[in-house]
Structures are given as C-alpha cells and as structure tokens.
Amino acid sequence: MKKFIKLVGCGLLLVSSLALAQTPYTEDSTYRGLGGKEGIKKIVDTFIVLITTDPRIKDSFTDFDMEQLNARLQEQFCEFAGGPCKYTGKYHDKAMEGVGPVRDMKTVHQDLKITNAMFNALTEDLQIALERHDVPSSISNKLVAKLAPMQRDIVTK
Ligand code: HEM
C-alpha cells in the first residue's frame, strides 16, 4: 500500500512539473514598468484630464461617459502591457449581424470623425501623462507601439 501511495505521489509530481513547464511565460515587464494596476490608474486619470482639456480634441469627448472610458482604458492598457487584466469594453469582439465579428476599436470610434492629427494629439497627451508619472521612455514606447496599429481602425476622416 505504502509503495502504491509513493508511486501515485511521484506520478502526480511528474504531471504537475510537466504542467508547470508548459505554462507560457507571460512577459509583464511593461506592466511592472507602468507601476502595475495602481500606476496605470494614476496614468489614465492624468490622461483623461489632458484629453478633455486639450483644445485639439476635447470636443470629441463631450456627451460621453468619461468614468466608463477611464475604466475601459485602464483595463486595455493593463492588458496590452502584459498585466493580469482583460478589456471588457462593450464592443469587445462584438459579433455584428451580417458582418461577423468586428474589430472592437473600429466600432467604438467609427462615428467620431477622427483625423490623423487628432490621433496624434491623443498619443502626445498619453506620452505627457506617462512622463508625468516618471515612466521610463523604454516602457512608454512599448505601450505606445501597441496602440499605434489601431490608427487605421480609429482614423476615419
Ligand atoms: C490609440 C488611440 C486610442 C485608443 C487606444 C482608444 C481607446 C478607447 C477605448 C478603450 C474606449 C472605450 C470603449 C468602450 O466603452 O468599451 C474608447 C472610447 C472612445 N474614444 Fe478612443 N481611443 C483612441 C483614440 C481616440 C481618439 C483619437 C479619439 C478622439 C479624438 C477618441 C475618442 C473616443 C470617444 C469619444 C470614446 C467614447 C465612445 C463611446 O462611449 O461610445 N479615441 N477609446
């Protein structure tokens, strides 16, 4: 009986070590560089103040729920940075009848008439927010690089 227990124990150990070995390594250095969830919250709070007072883009945000936007941006930045979050926005992987799954950011921004100049203004504001919270440029560049490909979905004008 003892032998049997030992054998089962060894088997379990082997299976769990194999499972651990196969767990993909999640690269979260950008998340940590942003200061984790707390740091991201501070950055997004500053970013929201900047975009809603920036004369180049502030008019785009009137009539929208900025608390909601703040929460969604925190999730999105955290996810992009390799942190333990998931963007739960209302258009995430939305399936549109007759169209199939649509890219979330495209749907969110499609009626907002956003130009390249507006997109660049928002990116500048994000960089200012990151600088204000002493995020090293090696880290902020990584976050901005993740957002850059969205330009073709977001700019419609
Ligand atoms: C890299 C650039 C951008 C990113 C990552 C981004 C991200 C987001 C996210 C995550 C949301 C929340 C959607 C939800 O509720 O689930 C959102 C909404 C919104 N964004 Fe952007 N955005 C970008 C560029 C812009 C620009 C350039 C403008 C205008 C100047 C803009 C205006 C808005 C507005 C008005 C909403 C609210 C839409 C709604 O609640 O229906 N965004 N954006």
Residue with tokens 């100049």: 117
Q: What is the pLDDT of residue 86?
A: 85
pLDDT in tens, 49-60: 999 999 999 999
Residue 14 alpha carbon to ligand 1 centre in Å:
47
Output the CA angle 92-135-106, nearest 5 degrees: 20
Q: Which fold has domain 35-154?
A: Globin-like (1.10.490)
Pocket of ligand 1 from Cβ distances under 6 Å: 57, 60-61, 64, 68-69, 72-73, 76, 89-91, 108-109, 112, 114, 118-119, 122, 147, 150, 154
Please name the residues in contact with 128: beta carbons below 8 A apart, sequence gap of 6 or more. 46, 50
CA–CA separation, 110 and 99 (whole Å): 15
pLDDT, tens only, 8-47: 665 555 555 555 454 455 688 999 999 999 999 999 999 9
- Mean pLDDT highest for which of 9-23, 54-68, 74-88, 101-115? 54-68
Pair 21, 92: CB distance under 8 Å: no
